[in-house]
């Protein structure tokens, strides 16, 4: 991969010999004349190193550096200055520059600086790879042991950590990690098949927190202290994607991250309704049948009454307030909410549902262009990162921090990269989802699916007379024998949800307390 250099200097025309020299050495150089243009280029492309002139008119080097480090904290920046004043260098070094050069610079100096930085990155990557391989056997042993739900959270956190640290590792090492992920999800699927239905009979403390516990355990205690809360549910957000969000907002909040397990199926109509109601799906159908009425299993049919369910739960918890609720699906919705922020900071509880990540998941399934842009998990994370940096959600979080509002942010389920098909047999009334189905007398391979013959044991409704449910394990997705190859070609290597995998079930729930600035 070609190393890309961004060079910002108001006298960039005088540096053309240096740029030509670097291009002859195999580097691609993008020249700009000011800090504002440098930031625009960084938003549009990925660079290996930035060379930054300290003395530029307008936004000077130190100011530009501060913005770069806020947006791209790990990007190496080399400061170039005419001055040898100690205070300037202290400011630059304090802002975490990778190196600095004193003008006039010569091409050999620049090449040596680049090689030193690239070698530092190479050594860092090699150290991460060595550390992972040293811990490989220990993690494998942990996966193979009979571990608890708490230990499964620990396993998943470790795998996500390595996945992010080894993003730039060679293909062979990435394959070792992917194989270990697959091994973990194989064992996790068996664990859920054995334990999940018993959790539904136990009290919190004996089992993990589940979707119906979220508001009761994380939001209600803050409200009972008369503190204002913004409750944000980002649909289909995985833990690794949350870590991207965390990095972007860490300057504004003190962050406490916990985890809970999504109920099955890990699909919006079930898991998100469970969050807002504090009830399992069969209980919603029993106690509030008009709020469970549906003509299909889509979100727009089954998730129309989240506000009503939330306020009913608040009443049940003896919290004397009504929530102000908003669902953000389109860009225009986000702008509208951002413009009305003063309305939300006045109430005790405001609740927001952001659908963009889920929309991104489904868009990738239908778009060959998005599949090409995000061909794997690291690239899909990068796509999420690009959205979040320019999103109304980020701006909302910054605004809430300014108003000293505590934020509880979570998701209703994650998603898994579906790479293996498995055949399912059912009638024409069977639901259409790829990672879970309900219908009459559904049949699937037990190795690839959890088969539920008694929906009541899983606290699931018998919607439309359904006699059983099935949930895909690991990275399987369901395909009918008829039109088998058509659906296989369409849905292979897409991100899906509804089944039983670590990525779909083990979910971050985060309490954000504004920092006092």
Question: Does pLDDT of 1 surpass 90?
Answer: no
Q: How far apart are CA 64 and CA 75, in angstroms?
A: 13
For residues 52 and 3, which has the higher predicted lDDT (pLDDT)? Answer: 52
Note the pLDDT of residue 91.
Answer: 52
Note the pLDDT of residue 104.
Answer: 85
- φ/ψ of residue 21, rounded to 5: -60, -45
Note the pLDDT of residue 158.
Answer: 95
What mean pLDDT is predicted for residues 43-61?
88
Asked if residue 260 lies in contact with residue 210, where contact means CB atoms within 8 angstroms, the answer is yes
What mean pLDDT is predicted for residues 95-114?
83
Note the pLDDT of residue 126.
Answer: 76
Please say whether the dihedral angle defined by the alpha carbons of residues 402, 222, 199 and 306, taken in this order, is positive or negative: negative
pTM value is 0.80
Note the pLDDT of residue 432.
Answer: 80
Note the pLDDT of residue 382.
Answer: 83
What mean pLDDT is predicted for residues 374-380?
81
- φ/ψ of residue 263, rounded to 5: -70, 165
Give the residue carrying structure tokens 């868009």. 363
Which residues, listed in sequence order, are joined to residue 167 by a DSSP beta bridge?
none
Per-residue pLDDT tens digits for 291-316: 886 545 555 567 889 999 999 999 99
Asked if residue 400 lies in contact with residue 345, where contact means CB atoms within 8 angstroms, the answer is yes
Residues in the chain: 517
Which residues, listed in sequence order, are joined to residue 101 by a DSSP beta bridge?
80
What distance lies between CA 474 and its chain's CA centroid? 19
Residues 6+ apart with CB under 8 A from 99: 76, 78, 79, 113, 116, 117
Which residues, listed in sequence order, are joined to residue 501 by a DSSP beta bridge?
none
Note the pLDDT of residue 363.
Answer: 66
Sequence-ordered strand ranges (E) for 41-89: 49-53, 77-81
The number of CA neighbours under 13 Å toward the Cβ of 37 is: 16
- Cβ-count burial 80-105 (b if 16+ within 10 Å, e if not): bbeeeeeebbebbeebebbbbbeeee
Residues 6+ apart with CB under 8 A from 138: none
Find, among 460, 419, 421, the residue nearest to 439 by Cα: 460
What distance lies between CA 271 and its chain's CA centroid? 17
From the CA atom positions of the chain, what is the Rg in Å?
A: 26
Q: What single DSSP character describes residue 105? A: P
Per-residue pLDDT tens digits for 445-463: 989 999 999 999 999 997 6
Per-residue pLDDT tens digits for 202-247: 988 899 999 999 999 999 999 999 999 999 999 999 999 999 999 8
Note the pLDDT of residue 264.
Answer: 97
Q: Measured over all CA atoms, what is the biggest interatomic distance in the chain, rounded to whole angstroms? A: 79
Question: Does pLDDT of 8 surpass 80?
Answer: yes
Q: What single DSSP character describes residue 23? A: H
Give the residue carrying structure tokens 């039109």. 483
Q: State which CATH number among 3.30.565.10, 1.20.1260.10, 3.40.50.9100, 3.40.50.2300 fits the domain covering 4-105.
A: 3.40.50.2300
Per-residue pLDDT tens digits for 123-132: 677 777 888 8
Question: Does pLDDT of 255 surpass 70?
Answer: yes
Note the pLDDT of residue 3.
Answer: 84
Sequence-ordered strand ranges (E) for 225-280: 229-234, 253-261
Note the pLDDT of residue 293.
Answer: 67
Asked if residue 22 lies in contact with residue 5, where contact means CB atoms within 8 angstroms, the answer is yes
Average pLDDT, the chain: 88
Angle at 305 between CA 304 and CA 307, to 5 degrees: 120
Note the pLDDT of residue 86.
Answer: 52
Note the pLDDT of residue 370.
Answer: 67
Q: To the nearest whole percent, how much of the chain has pLDDT over 70?
A: 91
Per-residue pLDDT tens digits for 393-442: 999 999 999 998 999 999 999 999 999 999 998 877 778 889 999 988 89
Per-residue pLDDT tens digits for 477-492: 999 887 778 778 778 8
């Amino acid at each position: 991969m070609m190393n890309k250099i961004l060079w910002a200097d108001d006298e960039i025309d005088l540096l053309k010999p240096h740029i030509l020299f670097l291009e002859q050495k195999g580097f691609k150089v993008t020249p700009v004349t000011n800090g504002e243009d440098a930031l625009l280029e960084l938003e549009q492309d990925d660079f290996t190193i930035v060379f930054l002139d300290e003395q530029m008119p307008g936004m000077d080097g130190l100011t530009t550096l501060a913005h770069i480090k806020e947006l791209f904290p790990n990007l190496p920046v080399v400061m170039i200055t005419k001055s040898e004043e100690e205070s300037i260098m202290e400011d630059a070094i304090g802002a975490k520059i990778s190196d600095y050069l004193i003008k006039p610079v010569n091409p050999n100096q620049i090449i040596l600086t680049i090689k030193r930085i690239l070698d530092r990155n190479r050594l860092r990557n090699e150290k991460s790879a060595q550390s992972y391989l040293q811990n490989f056997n220990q993690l494998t042993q942990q996966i193979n042991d009979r571990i608890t739900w708490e230990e499964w959270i620990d396993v998943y956190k470790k795998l996500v950590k390595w996945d992010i640290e080894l993003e730039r590792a060679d293909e062979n090492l990435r394959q070792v990690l992917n194989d270990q992920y697959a091994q973990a999800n194989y064992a996790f699927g068996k664990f859920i098949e054995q334990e999940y239905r018993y959790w539904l009979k136990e009290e919190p403390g004996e089992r993990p927190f589940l979707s119906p516990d979220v508001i009761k355990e994380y939001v209600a205690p803050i409200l009972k202290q008369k503190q204002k809360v913004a409750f944000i549910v980002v649909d289909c957000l995985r833990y690794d994607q949350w870590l991207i969000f965390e990095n972007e907002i860490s300057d504004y909040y003190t962050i406490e991250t916990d985890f809970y397990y999504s109920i099955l199926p890990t699909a919006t109509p079930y898991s998100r309704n469970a969050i807002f109601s504090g009830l399992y799906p069969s209980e919603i159908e029993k106690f509030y049948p008009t709020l469970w009425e549906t003509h299909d299993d889509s979100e727009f049919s089954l998730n129309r009454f989240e506000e009503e369910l939330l306020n009913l739960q608040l009443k049940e918890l003896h919290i004397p307030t009504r929530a102000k609720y908003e669902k953000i699906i389109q860009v225009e919705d986000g702008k509208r909410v951002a413009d009305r922020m003063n309305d939300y900071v006045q109430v005790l509880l405001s609740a927001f549902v952001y659908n963009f990540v889920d929309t991104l998941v489904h868009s990738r399934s239908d778009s060959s262009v998005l599949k090409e842009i995000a061909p794997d998990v690291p690239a899909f994370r990068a796509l999420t990162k690009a959205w979040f940096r320019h999103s109304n959600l980020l701006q909302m979080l910054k605004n809430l921090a300014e108003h000293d509002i505590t934020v509880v942010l979570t998701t209703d389920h994650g998603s898994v990269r579906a790479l293996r098909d498995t055949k399912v047999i059912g009638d024409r009334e069977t639901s259409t989802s790829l990672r879970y189905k309900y219908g009459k007398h559904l049949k699937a391979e037990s190795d690839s699916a959890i088969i539920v013959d008694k929906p009541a044991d899983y606290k699931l409704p018998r919607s439309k007379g359904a006699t059983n449910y099935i949930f895909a394990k690991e990275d399987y997705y369901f395909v009918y024998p008829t039109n088998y190859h058509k659906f296989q070609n369409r849905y292979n290597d897409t991100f899906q949800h509804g089944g039983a995998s670590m990525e779909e079930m083990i979910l971050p729930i985060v309490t954000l307390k504004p920092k006092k600035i």
